[in-house]
Amino acid sequence: MKTTIIHKKRTYQVDLSKPLDISIPMTGDISNVNAWYVDHPRIEPHTEHGFTGSVKSGASTNFNDIWFNPHAHGTHTECYGHITREVYSVNEKLKKYFFLAEVITIAPGKLGDDFVISKHQLSNTIKGTNLDALVVRTLPNTKEKLSKQYSNSNPPYFMEDAMAFLVSKGIDHLLVDLPSVDKEKDGGALVCHKKFWNLKGEIRKEATITEFIFVPNDLEDGTYLLNLQMAPFINDASPSRPVLFKTTEV
C-alpha cells in the first residue's frame, strides 16, 4: 500500500506494506540482551492457589507474568524524566508517532580505552536535512547484539559535542543500537542525556532517546519514515517498537 507524505515542503512516496522492524524482541531468558547489572527478564506462567497459567500444564489459557526492566532488557524509548527529580512519563510527552528519519552507519573511533561517536563522524555521515529523527547503526554490526550481555563491557558511547551537534540539527528523536548514549561508568554525569534534553536551559520536552535497537545489515543507509510505536506504560521509559518504511522523494 503506497502513500504520499509531505514533510517540510518535500514530498515522499512510502510503501506501507513493507515495514522494517528495528526492535529487539524480549525472550524472557538468559539469551535476552541485557545491561546495567540486573538479572535477565522472566516470562513465566502465573501460579496461584494450585493454578498454573499454562495450557501445557492443564489450564484453559496461557496466562503469563512478565518481569523486566525497560532500560536493561531491550528496545525502549525514554523521555527527559529518565534524569529528572520530578516524575515524567514518556507516554505523556510523545504525542506524535511518525517522523522523517535518516539511517546512518558509523564505526566508533578509539579514544584511550574507549570507543566513541564524535561530532566529526556525524557531520561527515548525515546527508539529510530537515530530519526529525536519526537512527544510528554502529560497526561491527553482528547478530550478537540481539543477545549481548553488556554489563561491565564499556560499550561505545557519544561524545558531548556529538550530542550538541544533533540538537543543533534539530534531531528530536535519536535511536541507537547501544545500551546508552553515555559511557557505562561515568560517575552519574550523563552528559549526553543532559545535552540532548537541554536540562540546563529550556528542556526539549518532546524529544526522545531510543536505545537497544538492531538495524540489520541489509537495511541500507538513507531516508525513511519512522513509526515509533510504544507500549503505554506510565514511566520515564517504555518498551518500544520502531518501524521504518523506505521513502522515495518525488
Helices (H) and strands (E) in the chain, counts: 4, 17
Q: What is the pLDDT of residue 129?
A: 87
pLDDT of residue 202: 96
- CB of 244 closer than 8 Å to CB of 15: no
191's enclosing H/E stretch is helix 191-197
pLDDT of 160 reads 98
Instruction: Provide the phi-psi class of 120: left if phi over 0, else alpha when psi is between -120 and 50, else beta.
Output: alpha
Give the pLDDT of residue 7.
92
Average pLDDT across each block of 10 residues of the chain; the chain has 250 residues. List them in order.
Answer: 90 96 96 98 97 97 98 98 97 96 98 98 94 98 98 98 97 98 98 97 97 98 97 97 96
**Domains defined for the chain, CATH in brackets:** 2-26+71-249 (3.50.30.50)
Per-residue pLDDT, 94 = 96
The model scores a pTM over 0.95 = yes
- Tell the residue number behind the cell numbers 561508568, with chain if given: 185
Say what the pLDDT of residue 127 is: 94
In angstroms, the CA 97 to CA 226 distance is 8
pLDDT at position 1, please?
82
Look-up: residue for cell 545500551?
179
Q: How confident is the model at residue 9, as a pLDDT?
A: 86
Q: 121: buried, middle or exposed (CB in 10 Å: 19+, 13-18, 0-12)?
A: buried
Residues 61-106 have pLDDT tens digits of: 999 999 999 999 999 999 999 999 999 999 999 999 999 999 999 9
